[in-house]
């Protein structure tokens, strides 16, 4: 039995011993793996900290560098940029050589001015010599034309003028292509009530406005008053600086005409029914004074624009009715300026603030009076007092009327340094032109 027991127990002992050895090896291996893992984690933490430290250092260095560049050397940086632009000037457009500002500017008349393709100019192409000699522009290096075939591409013109008083033609209504440096000009001399053109589809289309209104980019007036002594043009500001009106003024030419000026007032008119109701105002005034109406709206006639009509006003009449067809802001027609050159006192009626445009005591404003009868009484007073009548011509000693072409200012704008980098556009030209521009109720009651 003992022998049997001993021989059977040895294998069991060997098995237990081997299992213990294997288990110990596994424990040591696990310990080694754990140690390696902890070392790796430690290395990762150290690496992360190092990266964070480096990132913080880079941020601090970048911030300090930005502070240095932005606050310490901006002048050096900006002058460097200015110098670079000086050495290599920007050159937009089609000019390949020479200074861009020395190149002539080409202006295209896109459509006609009430059927006149030349806009009252003498030729289809106006060269810089005409700008200089005839228009007397301070900047004259421009060409004005109605020829669309002058260049192979329409976007090669520097500016295009659109007369917007009438609808554009159905074919080629507007240019099919447009250059980024090209200026589109809204040109109009008619009041909003007489504008027969749809503007609602032309948002962000026009860059400049050229009209009679004082808030236009280019004011287009039929005439300007110029101080004879200084040669300065009187601009229609809110409070223009006019010379004081003398208490007594003697005009020899008017005195010679005075004995034959036996007729009270004249009015030349062809548009009979108007928004301003000027025809009704005239009818009311005829109840108190004599008013001779010439043209389609009256019984009398005289050839329009003839020297005979001018002589008739100079020699026979004391007052001329310069009544506008619309009561619109700044709207004054060329007829008033023509009358200012004649030996007759204009009686004005319109929506403009005449104090901005005409010398004081050079006209009689209808709306300075409450009723037609009150106005008629004042006209009678002036007509019966020659000394007071003469005072209305005092301004001729100090001022003269001159024409300044709006094309001169447009040419000058086109020659401003890099004008195409500071352009504008009218987001709603219809609203700008129509809103608040006219009134339909006069201040004189009739």
Determine the pLDDT at residue 167.
Answer: 85
Residue 332 backbone class (left: φ over 0; alpha: ψ -120 to 50; beta: rest): beta
Each residue's pLDDT expressed in tens, for the chain with a length of 446 residues: 444 444 455 555 555 666 666 666 667 767 677 777 777 777 777 778 878 888 888 888 877 776 655 555 444 444 444 444 444 444 434 444 445 667 999 999 999 999 999 999 999 999 999 999 999 999 999 999 999 999 999 999 999 999 999 888 888 889 999 998 899 999 999 998 778 778 988 999 999 999 999 999 999 999 999 999 999 999 998 889 999 999 999 888 999 999 999 999 999 999 999 999 999 999 999 999 999 999 999 999 998 778 999 999 999 999 999 999 999 999 999 999 999 999 999 999 999 999 999 999 999 999 999 999 999 999 999 999 999 999 999 999 999 999 999 999 999 999 998 887 877 999 999 999 999 999 999 999 99
3 state DSSP class of 112: coil
**Other beta carbons less than 10 A from residue 432's beta carbon:** 18
Rounded Cα distance, 13 and 3, in Å = 16
Rounded Cα distance, 335 and 346, in Å = 10
Closest listed residue to residue 423, CA positions, set 252, 204, 264: 204
Determine the pLDDT at residue 97.
Answer: 42
Determine the pLDDT at residue 3.
Answer: 43
CB 406 within 8 A of CB 414: no
Number of residues assigned to the chain: 446
Cα 244 → chain centroid: 33
Q: Which pairing describes strands 142-145 and 125-126: parallel, antiparallel, or unpaired?
A: antiparallel
Tokens of 351: 């929506």
Consecutive H or E run containing 240:
none
Q: Where are the domains of the chain?
A: 102-220+404-445, 224-402
CB 107 within 8 A of CB 157: yes
Determine the pLDDT at residue 355.
Answer: 96
Determine the pLDDT at residue 14.
Answer: 57
pTM over 0.85: no
Q: Which pairing describes strands 224-227 and 159-163: parallel, antiparallel, or unpaired?
A: unpaired
**Other beta carbons less than 10 A from residue 159's beta carbon:** 23
Determine the pLDDT at residue 186.
Answer: 97
**Residue with the two structure tokens 């005839």:** 134
**Other beta carbons less than 10 A from residue 202's beta carbon:** 19
Consecutive H or E run containing 113:
none
Determine the pLDDT at residue 33.
Answer: 73
Determine the pLDDT at residue 40.
Answer: 76
Rounded Cα distance, 164 and 175, in Å = 15
Rounded Cα distance, 425 and 91, in Å = 22
Give Cβ neighbours of residue 251 (< 8 Å, ≥ 6 apart): 390, 393, 396
**Other beta carbons less than 10 A from residue 150's beta carbon:** 15
Give Cβ neighbours of residue 355 (< 8 Å, ≥ 6 apart): 240
User: In angstroms, what is the C-alpha Rg of the chain?
Assistant: 43
Give Cβ neighbours of residue 406 (< 8 Å, ≥ 6 apart): 210, 218, 219, 220
Determine the pLDDT at residue 25.
Answer: 65
Q: CA 151, 157, 158: angle at the middle one, nearest 5?
A: 155
CATH number of 224-402, picked from 3.40.50.11660, 2.60.40.2140, 1.10.274.10, 1.10.3720.10: 3.40.50.11660
């Amino acid at each position: 039995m003992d022998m049997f027991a001993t021989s059977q127990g040895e294998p069991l002992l060997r098995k237990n011993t081997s299992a213990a050895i294997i288990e110990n090896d596994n424990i040591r291996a696990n310990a080694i793996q754990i140690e390696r893992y902890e070392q790796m984690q430690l290395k990762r933490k150290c690496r992360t900290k190092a990266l964070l430290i480096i990132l913080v250092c880079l941020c601090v260095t970048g911030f300090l560098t930005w502070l240095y560049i932005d606050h310490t050397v901006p002048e050096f940086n900006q002058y460097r940029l200015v110098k670079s632009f000086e050495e290599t000037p920007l050159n937009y457009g089609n000019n390949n050589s020479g200074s861009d500002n020395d190149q002539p500017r080409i202006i295209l008349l896109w459509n006609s001015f009430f059927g006149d393709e030349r806009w009252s100019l003498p030729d289809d192409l106006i060269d810089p010599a005409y700008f200089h000699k005839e228009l007397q522009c301070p900047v004259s290096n421009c060409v004005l034309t109605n020829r669309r075939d002058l260049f192979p591409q329409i976007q090669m013109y520097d500016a295009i003028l659109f007369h917007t008083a009438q609808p554009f033609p159905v074919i080629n209504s507007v240019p099919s292509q447009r250059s980024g440096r090209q200026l589109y000009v809204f040109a109009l001399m008619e009041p909003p009530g007489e504008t027969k053109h749809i503007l609602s589809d032309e948002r962000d289309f026009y860059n400049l406005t050229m009209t009679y209104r004082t808030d236009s980019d280019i004011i287009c007036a039929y005439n300007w008053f110029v101080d004879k002594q200084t040669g300065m043009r009187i601009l229609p500001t809110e409070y223009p600086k006019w010379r004081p009106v003398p208490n007594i003024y003697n005009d020899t030419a008017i005195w010679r005409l005075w004995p034959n000026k036996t007729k009270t007032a004249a009015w030349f008119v062809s548009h009979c029914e108007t928004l301003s109701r000027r025809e009704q105002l005239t009818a009311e005034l005829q109840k108190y004074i004599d008013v001779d109406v010439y043209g389609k709206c009256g019984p009398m006639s005289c050839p329009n624009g003839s020297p005979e009509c001018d002589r008739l006003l100079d020699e026979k009449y004391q007052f001329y009715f310069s009544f506008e067809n619309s009561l619109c802001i700044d709207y004054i027609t060329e007829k008033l300026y023509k009358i200012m050159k004649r030996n007759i006192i204009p009686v004005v009626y319109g929506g403009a603030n005449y104090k901005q445009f005409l010398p004081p005591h050079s006209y009689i404003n209808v709306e300075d009076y409450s009723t037609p009868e009150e106005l008629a009484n004042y006209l009678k007073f002036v007509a019966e007092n020659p000394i007071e009548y003469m005072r209305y011509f005092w301004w001729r000693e100090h001022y003269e009327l001159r024409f300044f072409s709006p094309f001169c200012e447009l040419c000058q704008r086109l020659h401003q340094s890099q004008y195409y980098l500071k352009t504008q556009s009218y987001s709603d030209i219809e609203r700008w032109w129509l809103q608040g521009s006219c009134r339909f109720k006069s201040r004189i009651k009739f």
